[in-house]
Structure 1
Amino acid sequence: MPKNIYESAAYEASSLDGCYWPGTCEMPATPALAGEAQVDAAVIGAGFTGLSAALHLARAGMSVAVLDRHGPGWGASGRNGGFACIGGSKLDRAAMIRAHGRGARAAWCHAERAAIDTVARLQAELDIDLDRHSEGEVMLAHSPRAMAALRAEAEATGAEYGVRAEILPPGALAERGMRAEGVHGGMHLPLGFALNPRKYAAGLTRGAQAAGAAVHGGSPVTRIRREGAGYRLETPGGSLRAGRLLLATNGYASDDLPGWMRARYLPVQSSVMVTRVLDAAELAAQGWTSDLMAYDSRHLLHYFRLLPGGRFLFGMRGGIRWTPEAHEAVRRRMRADFAAMFPAWAEVETPFFWSGLANLTRNLVPYIGPLGDWPGAVAAFGYHGNGVAMASWSGQQAAELLLGRRPVLPEFVARPPARFELGPLRRLALGGAYLWYGLQDRR
């Protein structure tokens, strides 16, 4: 059996229960792998990374099959907050420059913009209805100290990305329909947009299938074997031979599929709730009428946006156990934080609540590169809670590697991530880290 580091319930189909997105669209049919099959390239994982890679490989003329434990968009790709924005690393500007140099930082900023452009391009090419809205995003300062930092960094941030970063004092936020308690101002960066992640995953699936890729849900890979110059992947219902291989399981990976992955990734829980539809009077009472996606400056951040149709989405990090009791504790904490920020909605029902696994690397940056010493095998993972755009781009870059081309990657993204300390017990370190971040967030 796969060596996953969370409780088994995190990987079962029922872990998607309570999610708002499945009710918004149907997924294309993706029958399970049955019997023997052979392709040029096999992709493990039908999230944004795997589907993007499969699409680009099939367009290049390769025969491709995608295998997924449950189905397209079942994991983080179909249950996230729908922010197609900059991000993907937990290193801030100063830390990245210290670790990798200014040239690498510039290359990373270029990759972040390219990632957003990748989503926009795929939407246009595949004619996907994404429920798209929001011209960029707003970072809200949760303390005077955080606001001072935003003011100090705004000019450099805008220069890095080639846009104007606009500082918004509290009064300006309220004027633009973004009033929340405990906010000391914000910064608007006109990069990225919001979307329905399930509709995006469905569109990518249809696009990959139309290009010739086979996508198989209900097909968890139980074993990978080297066989001749290629690989054999075994599932409960069949066996797939492939000359090339992409591992694109991100936070839903396993320590033994293959062994090279052991402790090179750390899944972290992110939880989301969605309200009932709010009417115009309720929106006006709180003073949040903007459709801009927003997040706050905490380490254990909150992220939120007003959805088309009037529901409000509110998410946060936290949680280190996948049990009913742990999820109920997270839900109570979220409701308290939500009521504190949006007191006019303190009694508003939130019928949708769910959690998913984002993914960290020890290097705090994504990885796109060889899967150990296996020839013709690539891995792409580690988007640090900002994977909508970065995963889409990473899948394209992984496809370039499998096609024998040279992708344009920041050097550190192609560097294999170090292993986390504590190995299979590494999740336990999150408790101490969250305590420390919580203390920092009070500053």
Structure 2
Amino acid sequence: MKRIYSDFAYGCGPRDGCWWDNTCDLPKFPSLEIDISCDVAIVGGGFTGLSAALHLAQAGVDVVVLEAHHIGWGASGRNGGFCCLGGARMDDAGLDKRFGRDGRLQYRKAERDAITLVERIAESHGIDIDRHSKGETELAHRPKDMDDLRRAADAVAENHGVEAEIIAKKDLPDHGLAGPFHGALTTPIGFGLNPRKYIAGLARAARDAGARIYEKAQVQSLNKAQHWILDTGRKVTADQVVIATNGYSSDDLPAWLAGRYMPSQSNVIVTRPLTPQEQEDAGWTSDQACYDTRNLLHYFRKMPDGRFLFGMRGGLTSNPGAEARARQRARQDFETMFPAWRHVETAHSWSGMVCIARDMVPFVGAVPDQTGLFVSMCYHGNGVAMGTYAGKQIAGLIAGHGDVPVAMAQPLSKFPLGQFRRAVMPAAYAGFMLADL
């Protein structure tokens, strides 16, 4: 396999200490012991792969999911649990320029539909996801960012048909959002959840619908003869294949992917439960899902059990030392932002990889010139909702009734420098840091 980080990034080290692993058991699935055949083989047992499996199985398709570790092992089982608008890093002006106003509104509708889909799956399958937060709140880390948030409120009204709430700096404490912020914008769409409980329920739903799910079934090669042949140590023969590996993809599965995605690390820490007095001391009593206005943003929320989750972009290299330094930076930023909690231990910390496209929009579609091969990936750190939605969309394409938004249907462009594309990241991060000052 041709991956652009060291082997450490794809092992157990980065996810060691993940709080979500303590919150529920995952359903167990067998390893692959014999050669099998199916209509559709899905590579990856995360939000995208399991959503695609669920919707295909419900349509009567014989579908197999092949997961290298256990379901939700990648970003789907170790993210911040924000089910929110997003999926692209392109602003409205960029979407208008590339796809026109209609294309932009179509994509923004997809963002809302993605959240609704997660709600519907959780409700219809009885999945307790520890839901909380009435939408999400963006906090201004500089006074001048309030002008951007006011413009963003107008955009929310046009794109999503709802009224966003501007909160002045002086009113933040009344909302339980005290801190080094200069105001905020609350958009009443989305919520926080426990991603492990969601992925566990999604896997059960896919299994119960008829999908066959195999764990410890890492695909080593993918070749086309009369049918697609996937080698996991056993042979899987499929008419069609979906690659749903996102930030944990390989440049040779398929070869077309080489240079067309950029994994980027994100770190999360979780505190012990905060007492009511500790919450009052910090002036943070809200259960809103929040993030700040930085390009290299922080995201954070108080969870239903009183624990506080705090996340940020991670390091640019992956090894034990870099992982330790990234976790330390997350802790330092947490203490800077919430000094009243400097004494509060964060026993749980981990990292995972989000996935970025050069064009800054997700891709859901067929691989050019390779009949029966599909890819869905690049959610830019917002994969809870958008990954679920993309899985449904890819299932629709395979079943012949797909209607993928035009912004998501454009094949991925290549990054410069090919397998050495990570070399552009230090300069990009430095630029973002300067812009955040």
TM-score range, shorter chain: over 0.9
Q: Distance in 2 between matches of 1:231 and 1:410?
A: 27
Alpha-carbon contact 1:377-1:402 (below 8 Å) kept: no
**Residue 166 (1) aligns with residue 165 (2):** yes
**Residue 235 (1) aligns with residue 232 (2):** yes
| SS of alignment partner, residue 218 of structure 2 | coil
**Residue 438 (1) aligns with residue 433 (2):** yes
The offset of 1:385, in angstroms, is 0.5
The offset of 1:158, in angstroms, is 2.1
Q: Distance in 2 between matches of 1:89 and 1:156?
A: 15
CA deviations on 1:30-70 (whole Å, 9 max, x unpaired) are 11111111111100000000000000000000111100110
- Residue 330 (structure 2) aligns with: 334
- Residue 139 (structure 1) aligns with: 138
CA deviations on 1:364-398 (whole Å, 9 max, x unpaired) are 00000112322122110000001100000000000
- Residue 395 (structure 1) aligns with: 391
Give percent identity, aligned residues only: 47
Aligned to 1:252, which of 223, 248, 252?
248
| SS of alignment partner, residue 42 of structure 2 | strand
Alpha-carbon contact 1:93-1:105 (below 8 Å) kept: yes
CA deviations on 1:414-434 (whole Å, 9 max, x unpaired) are 110110001111112111100
Alpha-carbon contact 2:178-2:282 (below 8 Å) kept: yes
Mapping for residues 298-337 of structure 1, pairs under 5 Å: 298-337=294-333
| SS of alignment partner, residue 167 of structure 1 | strand
The offset of 1:233, in angstroms, is 0.7
Q: Distance in 1 between matches of 2:123 and 2:194?
A: 15
List gaps (5 residues or longer) in structure 1: none
Alpha-carbon contact 2:107-2:407 (below 8 Å) kept: no
| SS of alignment partner, residue 235 of structure 2 | strand
- Residue 200 (structure 1) aligns with: 198
- Read off the aligned partner of 1:213 and give its amino acid letter: A
- Residue 184 (structure 2) aligns with: 186
CA deviations on 1:74-95 (whole Å, 9 max, x unpaired) are 0000000000000000111122
- Residue 405 (structure 2) aligns with: 410
Q: Distance in 2 between matches of 1:152 and 1:120?
A: 29
Alpha-carbon contact 2:8-2:320 (below 8 Å) kept: no
| SS of alignment partner, residue 144 of structure 2 | helix
- Residue 28 (structure 2) aligns with: 29
Alpha-carbon contact 2:221-2:231 (below 8 Å) kept: yes
- Residue 360 (structure 2) aligns with: 364
| SS of alignment partner, residue 336 of structure 1 | helix
- Residue 91 (structure 1) aligns with: 90
- Residue 374 (structure 1) aligns with: 370
CA deviations on 1:77-115 (whole Å, 9 max, x unpaired) are 000000000000011112221232111110111000000
The offset of 1:136, in angstroms, is 0.2
The offset of 1:148, in angstroms, is 1.5
Q: Distance in 1 between matches of 2:141 and 2:428?
A: 20
- Residue 285 (structure 2) aligns with: 289
Q: Which moved more, 1:118-127 or 1:6-15?
A: 6-15
TM-score, L = length of structure 2: 0.98
Q: Distance in 2 between matches of 1:227 and 1:99?
A: 37
- Read off the aligned partner of 2:266 and give its amino acid letter: S
Alpha-carbon contact 2:251-2:257 (below 8 Å) kept: yes
Q: Distance in 2 between matches of 1:339 and 1:385?
A: 23
The offset of 1:343, in angstroms, is 0.9
Q: Distance in 2 between matches of 1:76 and 1:270?
A: 9
- Read off the aligned partner of 1:184 and give its amino acid letter: H
Q: Distance in 2 between matches of 1:386 and 1:15?
A: 19
Q: Distance in 1 between matches of 2:165 and 2:256?
A: 44
Q: Distance in 2 between matches of 1:221 and 1:439?
A: 41
Alpha-carbon contact 2:415-2:421 (below 8 Å) kept: yes
**Residue 347 (1) aligns with residue 343 (2):** yes
Q: Distance in 1 between matches of 2:124 and 2:225?
A: 37
CA deviations on 1:328-363 (whole Å, 9 max, x unpaired) are 221222122111111100221000110000000111
Q: Distance in 1 between matches of 2:98 and 2:399?
A: 30
- Structural RMSD (CA): 1.0
Alpha-carbon contact 1:107-1:409 (below 8 Å) kept: no
Alpha-carbon contact 2:314-2:351 (below 8 Å) kept: no
TM-score, L = length of structure 1: 0.97
The offset of 1:313, in angstroms, is 0.1
Q: Distance in 1 between matches of 2:338 and 2:117?
A: 34
The offset of 1:151, in angstroms, is 1.6
- Read off the aligned partner of 1:255 and give its amino acid letter: D
- Residue 257 (structure 2) aligns with: 261
Alpha-carbon contact 1:13-1:70 (below 8 Å) kept: no
| SS of alignment partner, residue 101 of structure 1 | helix
- Read off the aligned partner of 2:417 and give its amino acid letter: L
| SS of alignment partner, residue 168 of structure 1 | strand
